[in-house]
Amino acid sequence: MEQYVIKGGNPLVGEVEIAGAKNAALAILAAAIMTDETILIENLPDVRDINVLLEAIAGIGAQVDRIDKSTVKINGSTIGDVSVDYEYIKKIRASYYLLGALLGKYKHAEVPLPGGCNIGSRPIDQHLKGFRALGADVDIMHGAIVAKADELHGSHIFLDVVSVGATINIMMAASLAPGRTILENAAREPHVVDVANFLNSMGANIKGAGTDVIRIKGVEKLHRTEYSIIPDQIEAGTFMFAAAATGGDVTVKNVIPKHLEATTAKLEEIGCEVEEFDDAVRVRAPKRLHRTHVKTLPYPGYPTDMQPQIAVTLALAEGTSIVTESIFENRFKYADELSRMGANIKVEGNSAIIDGVKKLTGARVSAPDLRAGAALVIAGLAADGITVVDDIVYIQRGYENFEDKLRSLGAEIERVSNEKEIQKFRLRVG
Ligand SMILES: CC(=O)N[C@H]1[C@@H](OP(=O)(O)OP(=O)(O)OC[C@H]2O[C@@H](n3ccc(=O)[nH]c3=O)[C@H](O)[C@@H]2O)O[C@H](CO)[C@@H](O)[C@@H]1O
Ligand SMILES: C=C(OP(=O)(O)O)C(=O)O
């Protein structure tokens, strides 16, 4: 198991390039198997979830040709199996996208129930409701979802909850379902739009992505395309909060500023100056941050995937802040770890009440999930002394070269794999 070891206290200063969006890329890779022609995907993030999904796609027989770390060619003509191996699926959430992709293309999919971060109970009933409405029989057998249809057909579907995964999965299957599908109460996240744009570039007929009503006209088949994935708004936001928490000045490049508006608004509320350029944002932190309140919501609200990062930053702000999590019921698992670093944070129901302190102090903490892990790294960068973050395998699910990017901004951080290396770092930094 690897760790990050961090000597905190340096304000982050400089420029950082953001990779492609993990959560768009995962869906797009799954959708790429929906044609027998070759798909070229660019701006792929080089993170663990992507590599696992590519292995799963190769595992069902598709040709996967990784041209370089951010480019892949996929050809689904050689797929010989619609049953995906549990070995891959247990590691990631987005494996559920293979259900929509395989069902659309082959009218048959067998995918084990997905893994992913343990941030709540995470049912997929809305995905299954959508597949059934499109004409599939769906059963859970031996831990796997089995979806089958003689023929799919368009349908009018109203989602009971706004779900990113269900919206994208239904959009994929409906693209190859004859007739018209109307999907209401759809998620509006930028990655929903990116997947719709990708499918449309393969010949699908999807309108309205980015609004809460998506209209899909099923087409007979999809074809080859070349596509570049949008930048990762969560990776970008994480660096923006790292700048804020360390009193830094960071320009985050290769972003779509519009996708960052909820994050930018909160940074301005807590006293940061945020300057927007065409494809970059610069965050300049004040001497001391101010308190604020925040509630996570579906897009365009404040994203749940940015909740731990703002909470850690508010732990250093003057005054009392309240952070309310309204999407997942178990996303405050970092709170105890943060308390061990001197934060004053108390979780009550779905809110964390945070009394800002002047300083955090370095400690040994453990990453409970992807975003909470990244947030604890931010805490370590801002804290006095040395922080060791265990279980960084979660962070590697979604951040490309995290430690290199942070080091290029002046952070003292190293990825290590044993106690000896931790000790060496301690001796070196004093
Ligand atoms: C791989 C991926 O893209 N993961 C993202 C995706 O997760 P994921 O697709 O799992 O999240 P959803 O948008 O589906 O979940 C939103 C809410 O709906 C509930 N729900 C969802 C589906 C369903 O069938 N039934 C149901 O009740 C969930 O429990 C949750 O409370 O969107 C989340 C919300 O932006 C992000 O935090 C995750 O990073
Ligand atoms: C929760 C996340 O991912 P997943 O849904 O794949 O667990 C995330 O990206 O923050």
Q: Which atom of ligand 1 is nearest to the CA of 304?
A: 37
Known binding-site positions for phosphoenolpyruvate: 22-23
Could you give the CA distance from residue 281 to residue 243 in angstroms, rounded to a whole number? Answer: 12
Q: What are the backbone dihedrals phi and psi of residue 420, each rounded to the nearest 5 degrees, phi first?
A: -60, -45
Task: Compute the average pLDDT of residues 263-290.
Answer: 97
Ligand 2 within 6 A of CB of 237: no
Q: How far apart are CA 150 and CA 274, in angstroms?
A: 54
| DSSP of 141-203 | ETTEEEEE-SS----EEE-SS--HHHHHHHHHHHHTSSSEEEEES----HHHHHHHHHHHHTT
Q: Is the CB of 305 under 6 A from ligand 2?
A: yes
Alpha-carbon torsion, ordered 81, 87, 89, 90, to 10 deg: 160
Q: Domains of the chain by range and CATH?
A: 3-19+231-429 (3.65.10.10), 22-228 (3.65.10.10)
Mean pLDDT of the chain: 96
For strands 108-112 and 293-295, give the pairing. unpaired
Q: Is 298 in the pocket of ligand 2 (CB under 6 A)?
A: no
- What digits encode the pLDDT tens for the residues 357-375? 999 999 999 999 999 999 9
Nearest residue to 46 (alpha-carbon basis) of 404, 415, 412, 380: 404
Q: 169 C-alpha to center of ligand 1: Å? A: 12
Distance 164 CA to ligand 1 centre (A): 6
Burial of 417 (0-12, 13-18, 19+ CB in 10 A): exposed
Q: How many CB atoms lie within 10 A of CB 32?
A: 28
How much is the pLDDT for 87?
Answer: 82
Decide: 106 and 64 in contact? Cβ < 8 Å. Answer: no
pLDDT band at 27 (very low <50, low <70, confident <90, very high): very high
Ligand in nearest proximity to the CA of 238: 2
For residue 373, the ligand closest to its alpha carbon is: 2
9: number of Cβ within 10 Å: 16
Q: ipTM of this predicted complex? A: 0.99
Residues 48-100 pLDDT 10s: 999 999 999 999 999 999 999 999 999 999 999 899 888 877 778 888 999 99
C-alpha 77 – ligand 1 centre gap (Å): 30
Ligand nearest the Cα of residue 27 is 1
CB 221 within 8 A of CB 35: yes
Under 8 Å between Cβ of 121 and 373: no
Q: Which pLDDT belongs to residue 286?
A: 96
Considering only residues 114 and 170, tell me which one the structure prediction assigns the higher pLDDT. Answer: 170
> Residues within the annotated binding site for UDP-N-acetyl-alpha-D-glucosamine?
93, 122-126, 305, 327
List, chain by chain if needed, residues with CB within 6 Å of any ligand 1 atom.
23, 26, 93-94, 120, 122-127, 161, 163-166, 187, 304-305, 327-328
Lowest mean pLDDT: which of 135-144, 222-231, 289-298, 373-382? 135-144
Q: Report whether 253 contacts 280 (CB < 8 A).
A: yes
Look up the pTM and report it.
0.97
Residue written as tokens 């320009």?
Answer: 251
Q: How confident is the model at residue 22 (pLDDT cuts 50, 70, 90)?
A: very high
CA separation for the pair 178, 173 (Å, rounded): 10
Residue 273, number of CB atoms within 10 A of its CB: 12
117 lines ligand 2 (CB under 6 A): yes
Comparing C-alpha atoms, which of 335, 328, 293 is closest to residue 314?
Answer: 293
